[in-house]
A and B are shown apart, each in its own frame.
Chain A
């Protein structure tokens, strides 16, 4: 497992190393998120950490109160709405590249995770969902009984 350990790197090399790592796992066929077409919104990145998995998605311009995160079984659903800014009557657009509208995406996560204890945070337009490993999936020492 290629754990990213670059606290010691300066920020520039740090970002470069991260970009290379992210590229290496681009649409990794060894990991199946379940049915979702190309271009599904939001795009997600999946990471492992010591105590579980982390789902990160870029959702700029979504008001936190219009963001819904739910889980059922192995499935995690991210839904919400991105609204366009209100313009005054006299204004006209020169460019309109930013997508807006409703979105909903479900991804399938490994059974070894405890989705009931997932936590989510949203900062600077980036959603982070942390899902701990299920108790049964954690390493356990088994005591040997002697007679």
Chain B
């Protein structure tokens, strides 16, 4: 048995500064992260994890802010992970989601953390889901994961959530086209935000049409289309009721269990890939020997890889 990291104990007690430190460690994948996360993983699983995604300018941050206010009104604590892109060139980022979440500032029942994608280093999905684990273990009732809906990495991120909301807005040309195919499929709830604007009916109708074209099985979750005007809070109450309904449905039909297992499988694979990357690299004896063999044509890459993995 390993002794629990003192930081983990403090996270489990819900101490703000400890949660903040743990999130930094998770984001950097600093040494000791696995040991920190081990007890947190075991404690996590109580929170309702909600993914919110959609095209830039669809009002995700404002919507998340309004959702959090609604949850607070119902006496539930909230954690928010807001993912923003880093510059590919400098690695820098301006993380502006907090500006639109100012109504929440000063309430210890809401913990907001901005996460930059940090360029091509990869592992964004992993860092984001580990961050969710930290907030979950810290006792947050609801954890919201907000990300721009472009690219596979973002789809990976939100697919780690239990309920996924895809946000669209009227007036983005052919509204539905702005939603990438991969996103349409993972939506548990569609949100037409800024629905006080012209064209909201059309956007909702297009979404409805799109959903009707999809294949359906009996007993399947009926993906609803919710209309909100998040800046005024309109429709947000109904939206969080939908999330609750989705959670109850998942529990009733065993879908929550299925998603938990799927997430577990993904995370084991990520951890395994990291272990392999970590062990198999130039500088370790067995690896360098294998490089010599393959370069000299005495062995082939696939066989060498199988042999090395067997030796791990």
Do A and B bind?
no
